[in-house]
Structure 1
Amino acid sequence: MFIKKYFEEIKLEENRITLGRTITETDIVIHAGQSGDFFPHHMDEEWCKTQPFKKRIAHGTLIFTIAVGMTAQLINEVAMTYGYERLRFTKPVFIGDTIKVKVSIKEKKDHKKPNYGLVTELVEVFNQHEELVMLCEHILMVERKSQA
């Protein structure tokens, strides 16, 4: 869905939650091929049995990529990504886990370009047990409705 929501119209603590997405073995294999990350933590079931989690875990970068994609259900035509900060993987995600993403407006501030403001979204990813598995801050540069 496309919207136009200007800097002044965005409210602190607004939030939205995505639908769920189940992580599959195919996701892991494709991501390994695209990223070159074939670490045994993701690819070697037998080796993983000797490790603390006892099974393969999804790449953190895979979870980040899927989570960001899940938030693209809503596209603000007057905003663009400025960057991501404070990325953390707080729990492993396993094959068969279902994740969903909560996006909350955390902060708004001025930008050096007077026609824009910066909006920081807190992006939280939860598994099917409502456990936080990843979080980061997504910074957006958003047009002002009233041009300075």
Structure 2
Amino acid sequence: MSKEIYFEDYEIGFYRDSTGRTITETDIVIHAGQTGDFYPHHMDAEWCKTQEFGQRIAHGTLIFSVAVGMTAGEINPVAFSYGYERLRFIKPVFIGDSIRVRATIKEKKDSPKRPNFGIVSELVEVFNQRNEVVLACEHLYLVEKKNA
């Protein structure tokens, strides 16, 4: 689906929530294969028993990637992803944890380089099944202005 949402139409404080998704061992194995990150924190169950968390943890980059996909919905032909800032892996995510995402419009400002566009900042928070924030970042959008 496609829907035009111009810079002026974004409202500070507006948020959207995703549905949930359970992180599986398969997710971790596939991500390790795609990235080459086979560190024991993700792959070695016996070694992890001797470490602080006592079990394997999902790659932070896996949780970030899944969260980005969970927030993808309507296509906005007048907005483009401009990048992500302040990415933090706050708590570990374990095999069997279920995550959900909340994306909240945090800030709007004019683009310093493109006067016909504005920059919209969206706070992205990933929660586990205990409602703890496990990942947070800011997603920046470059969005066309109506009267450009």
Query: Per the shorter chain, which TM-score range?
Result: over 0.9
Deviation string, structure 1 residues 57-91 (Cα, Å, up to 9, x no partner): 00000000000011112322211011110000110
Q: 1:35 maps to which residue?
A: 35
- Give, in angstroms, the shift of residue 2 of structure 1: 2.1
Q: 1:93 maps to which residue?
A: 93
Listed as ranges, the gaps of 5+ residues in structure 1 are none
RMSD: 0.7
SS in 1 for 2:72: helix
Please state if 1:57 is matched with 2:45: no
Q: 2:134 maps to which residue?
A: 133
Q: 2:12 maps to which residue?
A: 12
SS in 1 for 2:99: strand
Identity %: 67
Deviation string, structure 1 residues 91-114 (Cα, Å, up to 9, x no partner): 000001010000000110001211
* Segments ≥4 residues shifted beyond 2 Å: none
Aligned-partner Cα distance in 2 for 1:120–1:30: 31
User: Between Structure 1 and Structure 2, how many residues are aligned?
Assistant: 147
Deviation string, structure 1 residues 33-64 (Cα, Å, up to 9, x no partner): 00000000000000000001100000000000
Q: 1:25 maps to which residue?
A: 25
TM-score by length of 1: 0.97
SS in 2 for 1:82: strand
Aligned-partner Cα distance in 2 for 1:98–1:73: 20
Equivalent residue letter for 2:137: C
Q: 2:125 maps to which residue?
A: 124
SS in 2 for 1:75: coil
Aligned-partner Cα distance in 2 for 1:75–1:95: 31
Aligned-partner Cα distance in 2 for 1:16–1:74: 12
Aligned-partner Cα distance in 2 for 1:26–1:104: 30
TM-score by length of 2: 0.97
Aligned-partner Cα distance in 2 for 1:122–1:74: 18
Q: 1:114 maps to which residue?
A: 115
